[in-house]
Structure 1
Amino acid sequence: MDSDIKNKVKSDLESFLKSKQYYHRLGRVWKRSYLLYGPSGTGKSSFVAALAKFLCYDIYDVDLSKVSDNSDLKLLLLQTSSRSVIVVEDLDKFLNEKSTGVSLSGVLNFMDGIFSCCGEERVMVFTMNSKDHIDHSILRPGRIDAQIYFPLCDFTAFKTLANNYLGLKDHKLFPQVEEIFQHGATMSPAEIGEIMIVNRSSPSRALKTVITALQTNGDATRSGAKGKMSKRLSESESSKERSGDESVDNSGVICRESVHTVREFRKLYGLLRMKSSGRKTPTGFDLGSSVEKMDKEG
């Protein structure tokens, strides 16, 4: 975790611990809420454990997918004690899949409703992989006090991992690792940490294994991007082939006016044939046959 962010979080928690009288003077419940969001393996769950240890609080892990309805969720909250961390992991997954009887309003009441006011000195932590498609009512200030993003590993985070797992503050392979990161390759801290644990007896081997893994990951990412581009191009060509009566210029822009004109003419031709079947015009020629001939001749 970035050291500046870590220090800010520690300062925020220390301030919270000393703020009982302040919250009471404001008439607010003495609690603090955090949202942790980012890809899997970036340290969100580890952060929760570290936070609880730092505060010396108990942890309650609430699995919303196993809660049958809003009433049961309220009862779970009432059973928690003060001086505790209440954790709801993968909240975005629950809200998107909605596999139980717990409603959005039930989750909101759990976060800051009347029942959440029945105890004090609590820290509530919610984790998500992404907050892009989350209802804004979940994220509003007062309901979520602080939001912390957990990114994939960069070179700065890698050096911290190397120091923690391998006792390395510097190494001749560090410049090569930095170059790979600069070219866009990345992995989660959990993946890199596991490689370092397995190869902890040989720091050089650990770094070489990380380099290989990063290169493989970078190649796969680039191949995936090329594959998506090829698929889009292929779909574009297929759509052109399916549009047999659509005029397409060399730039790939469909001339919608030409398409409209051809279709309107054919529609008109069909109506004329229906109305004029077998009848002659005053001048003696068959309107249906004449139009049919024109259509054949283009």
Structure 2
Amino acid sequence: MIAAMANLLEYDIYDLELASVNDNTDLRKLLIETSSKSIIVIEDIDCSLDLTGQRKDKKDDKEDEKDPIKQMEKMKKKKKGSEVTLSGLLNFIDGLWSACGRERLIVFTTNHIEKLDPALIRRGRMDKHIEMSYCCFETFKVLAKNYLDVETHELFATIGRMLGETDMTPADVAECLMPKSDEEDVEVCLKKLIKCLEDAKEAARVKAQEDARIKAEEGHI
């Protein structure tokens, strides 16, 4: 999707890994050096830095200063990786928007939006929230048309039912539909997708049972 945006707008793409940036000053330098008419992509922002909104009040900070163990842990974290902070990122985003927001787009991706600080994802900073959901039957039909040049088939009903029962991304569906050789016709590819859906459903069932078992064991501790 990002590539499509860049092609449509004729913008450059910058892929920024926050974990490799030393501090807020370096972050500002990097982003200011990006060209106008560009898309700045920060992927998996929930994993890049501690931007989860777990803020401490002044009382907690004073208590941490008195605790030598917590001070040592803080020093280890500083030596270990990036010192870019949430406030530093927010300040830059606001500054970039006010200076040249019309010529730059910032795209954040995350698998856990609930973990992010509300200040980061509020309207005005992230103007558009797009959920990349699992594949539905309508999306499957578009993929089948694109990859197999078929608009209807007797196996469509089975696939539609299974897509309603199983979570699978459009990318995984496309991978199953894509012919690997000239010998794989439409029916072979559709049956391959059905097998993938069956495997995904079974894997989800096993995982749910395992999660329930772990939860039950934790409840008895």
Q: TM-score, normalised by structure 2?
A: 0.78
- Structure 1 residue 196, shift from structure 2 partner: 2.0
Q: 1:215 aligns with which of 168, 180, 198?
A: 198
Aligned to 1:205: 188
Kindly indicate whether residue 75 of structure 2 is the aligned counterpart of residue 121 of structure 1: no
What is the match of residue 173 of structure 2? 192
Per-residue CA deviations over 1:66-101 (Å, capped at 9, x if unaligned) read: 111111111111111221112111111113489411
Q: Distance in 2 between matches of 1:81 and 1:204?
A: 48
Q: 1: CA distance between counterparts of 2:218 and 2:36?
A: 58
Matched, 1:52 2:10: no
Contact 2:17–2:43 under 8 Å retained in 1:
yes
Q: 1:132 to 1:84 in 2, by over 3 A?
A: same
Which of 101, 120, 140 lines up with 2:83 in the alignment? 101
The CA RMSD measured in Å over matched residues stands at 2.0
Gaps of 5+ in 2: 52-76
The runs of 5 or more residues in structure 1 that have no matched partner are 1-46, 240-298
Cα drift, residue 226 of structure 1: 2.1
Aligned match of 1:77: 31
Q: 1:174 maps to what in 2?
A: 156
CA spacing shift, 1:170–1:112, aligned 2, 3 Å: same
Take 2:139 and 2:3, find their aligned partners in 1: how far apart are those partners?
A: 19
Deviations 1:120-158 (A, max 9, x none): 422221111121111000011111111111111122211
* Paired residue secondary structure (1:227): helix
Alignment of 1:270-285 (within 5 A): none
1:115-154 mapped onto 2 (5 Å cutoff): 115-119=96-100, 120-154=102-136
CA 1:209/1:172 → structure 2, altered by over 3 Å: closer, same or farther? same
The answer for the alignment partner of 2:210 in structure 1 is 227
2:65 counterpart residue number: none
Task: Quote the residue 2:73 is aligned against.
Answer: none
Q: How many pairs are equivalent?
A: 190
Structure 1 residues 106 and 205, CA gap change in structure 2 (3 angstroms) = same
The yes-or-no answer on 1:91 pairing with 2:45 is yes
The 1:60/1:198 distance shift into structure 2, 3 A limit, reads same
**AA at the equivalent of 1:59:** I
Q: Deviations over 1:48-83 (max 9, x none)?
A: 000111111111221111111111111111111221
User: Is the CA contact 2:49–2:84 (under 8 Å) kept in the aligned structure 1?
Assistant: no
Q: Percent identity?
A: 38
